[in-house]
Structure 1
Amino acid sequence: MVFGKKVDICFMGQVFKIFIITIVSLLIAKPSRAQADFCGIKNTSFQHGEKLEFKVYYNMGRLWVGAGLASFETKLENHANNKKVFHVVGDGKTLKSYEWFYKVRDRYETFIDAETMLPVKFVRNVNEGGFKIYNNVTFNQNIGQAVSTNGVFKVPPCIQDVLSAIFYARNIDYSQYKPGDKIPFTMFLDDEVFSLYIRYMGKEKITTKYGTFNTIKISPLLIEGTIFKGGEKMMVWVSDDANHLPVRVDSPILVGSVKVDLVGYEKLRNPLTSLIKKQK
């Protein structure tokens, strides 16, 4: 499911996939402009060696229970023709206490051109209770083409994949937003182009498992599917500083609710000035 696309896979796999897509959706371009805004931005928000860690919680009543972990690690590498790329790896897994019931091992990788901040390659390799998906995508941004394991597809200019969009959009200037603005964007995933939007909600102080933050609040549009309820019921909070880290995702689902919190980080490019107080 991509904001409503129905696929018959497990709950934790769905949660991790939607978590990644939600983090993407919380950070996209200026509300009054079109897809061209995805071109030409410069990176000022992350660097080689950055690592972010998250914990996924599930609630069917009054008790939040830890169910899974997710991490994102960034390295600067040489790619084809000696092109400098940021190689980002996103890993998701169930906690051991859940693996007797359903074991999840998901990996998403993107290779982002360090100069243009556009993806040149994307790899999805997931194993969700024995349900396996592998897709290797090469992007040719010059001719608007994506070549995947399954075929060749036409894509719009400056298309992002599910991971590259997170890091591209972390460099957006949020001071240009007004509460209530819709923010459209497009993304290539599962061999399809998706046109989505989020709504900017303003700023808010929140307390998470890590600490108390000044944040930017976002609500992505969801279409009802196998796990998530429809509408703008999912909320996302991003650190209100130059790093633009997702610090919390919170959403009702068809049975209960899910919450994802930032629980650790390494080698941020900028001071985490949004952190007011760290939890003891």
Structure 2
Amino acid sequence: MLKFIHSRSSRFIIRCSAVLLFAGSAAAGGLPFPLNERLDYRISWNGILVAWSTSTTGMIETNGTNYVFVRVETQTYPIFDVFYRVNDLHECLLDPETLLPVRFEKNMREGRSRYHDVTTFDYANGVARFENVGAGTVTNVPISADTRDYLSFMYFMRGQELTPGKTTTHHVLADDKVYEVLVHAGEIEKIGLSNYPDVPSLQLDPEAAFNGLFVRCGKATLWVSRDPRRLLTCMKAWVPFGRVTVRLNDVSGDGNDFWITKKENDVKNEN
């Protein structure tokens, strides 16, 4: 059954949801999020822990230029590898002034499938170069001035205020297609976490459209904390044969706020 978690349709739902996965607080240096931050998540399928996901940020120098990097790694626990192994790595480089993406790379292993592609952004000419490394093909995708891949978009969203009852629209590049992503903000609820007190969180329901046609390949609901960091506390995605739940487990790195100083030792139900 694990293969259904990462089917083509469920992967897209989770990617669309990931645009808000790690939305966080304003930080020093003009960035709307802290550098040297690590966010650890646990992923369950129908209440069974099957995988973990970690997001890290920092600065990197490439060819004499400094960029912000964000890296997200997801892996199944070893006991499940014999059924369906997942080993995914997503990484992007951002211009620290504009937070626009310069380069995005995806390297994924899911079961017997492999996905490796690299996207470079050329805003001056309004095009993104999508290279499918495995297939040896290149596709030029027209983009607008505000089009971002889903990792750079989620960091852009860290500086955006989300208001209950409001809907915002954005353009997100996924593989070689640009999707219009609508984010519907709902009510505020308290979300239980393993290592923290219950966290007031805003419910968000993302919906995606391609060429004006809405993509209805599943349903995902997210909850984002209402403190200054605005972290994703929980996500639930309904996929064939069940439900995938992504829940925040730990926050580490720089800072002395609630997420660093108020960790609890007791472990609550992950479901």
Give TM-score scaled by structure 1 length.
0.79
Query: Match for residue 74 of structure 1?
Result: 57
Tell me, yes or no, if structure 1 residue 240 matches structure 2 residue 226: yes
Shift of 1:275: 9.2
Paired letter, 1:217: Q
Query: Match for residue 38 of structure 1?
Result: none
Change (3 A) 1:210 1:252: farther
Query: Match for residue 221 of structure 1?
Result: 207
Please list the CA deviations of residues 113-150 of structure 1 after superposition, one character each: whole Å capped at 9, or x if unmatched.
11111100000111111211111111012222101212
1:176-255 → structure 2 map (5 Å cutoff)? 177=163, 179-211=164-196, 212-221=198-207, 223-225=215-217, 228=218, 233-255=219-241
Is contact 2:189-2:201 (8 Å) kept? yes
Is contact 1:243-1:269 (8 Å) kept? no
Cα distance in 2 for partners of 1:214, 1:148 equals 39
1:75-90 → structure 2 map (5 Å cutoff)? 75-80=58-63, 82-90=64-72
Is contact 1:27-1:169 (8 Å) kept? no
Tell me, yes or no, if structure 1 residue 13 matches structure 2 residue 6: yes
Shift of 1:261: 0.5
Change (3 A) 1:67 1:273: closer
Cα distance in 1 for partners of 2:50, 2:187 equals 30
**SS where residue 46 of structure 1 aligns?**
coil
Cα distance in 1 for partners of 2:85, 2:71 equals 20
Is contact 1:215-1:274 (8 Å) kept? no
Aligned residue among 166, 169, 183 for 2:157: 169
**SS where residue 13 of structure 1 aligns?**
coil
Query: Match for residue 111 of structure 1?
Result: 93
Paired letter, 2:4: F
Paired letter, 1:58: W
Whichever structure has more strand as a proportion of its residues is 2
Change (3 A) 1:260 1:275: farther
Shift of 1:279: 5.5
Q: Flag as ranges the 4+ runs of structure 1 deviating above 4 A.
A: 14-17, 25-28, 273-277
Tell me, yes or no, if structure 1 residue 57 matches structure 2 residue 44: yes
Is contact 1:26-1:219 (8 Å) kept? no
Cα distance in 2 for partners of 1:240, 1:151 equals 40
Change (3 A) 1:93 1:274: closer
Cα distance in 1 for partners of 2:99, 2:255 equals 16
Cα distance in 1 for partners of 2:6, 2:242 equals 16
**SS where residue 173 of structure 1 aligns?**
coil
Please list the CA deviations of residues 14-48 of structure 1 after superposition, one character each: whole Å capped at 9, or x if unmatched.
456643430315789xxxxxxxxxxxxx523221x
RMSD after superposition = 2.5
Shift of 1:244: 1.6
**SS where residue 115 of structure 1 aligns?**
coil
Query: Match for residue 264 of structure 1?
Result: 250
Structure 2: 5+ residue stretches without partners:
24-29, 132-137, 209-214, 267-271
**SS where residue 252 of structure 1 aligns?**
strand
**SS where residue 22 of structure 1 aligns?**
helix
Is contact 2:18-2:150 (8 Å) kept? no
**SS where residue 156 of structure 2 aligns?**
helix
Cα distance in 2 for partners of 1:274, 1:180 equals 30
Cα distance in 1 for partners of 2:223, 2:264 equals 16
1:88-99 → structure 2 map (5 Å cutoff)? 88-99=70-81
What is the number of equivalent residue pairs in this alignment? 244
Please list the CA deviations of residues 243-270 of structure 1 after superposition, one character each: whole Å capped at 9, or x if unmatched.
2211100133232211110111211557
Cα distance in 1 for partners of 2:87, 2:66 equals 28
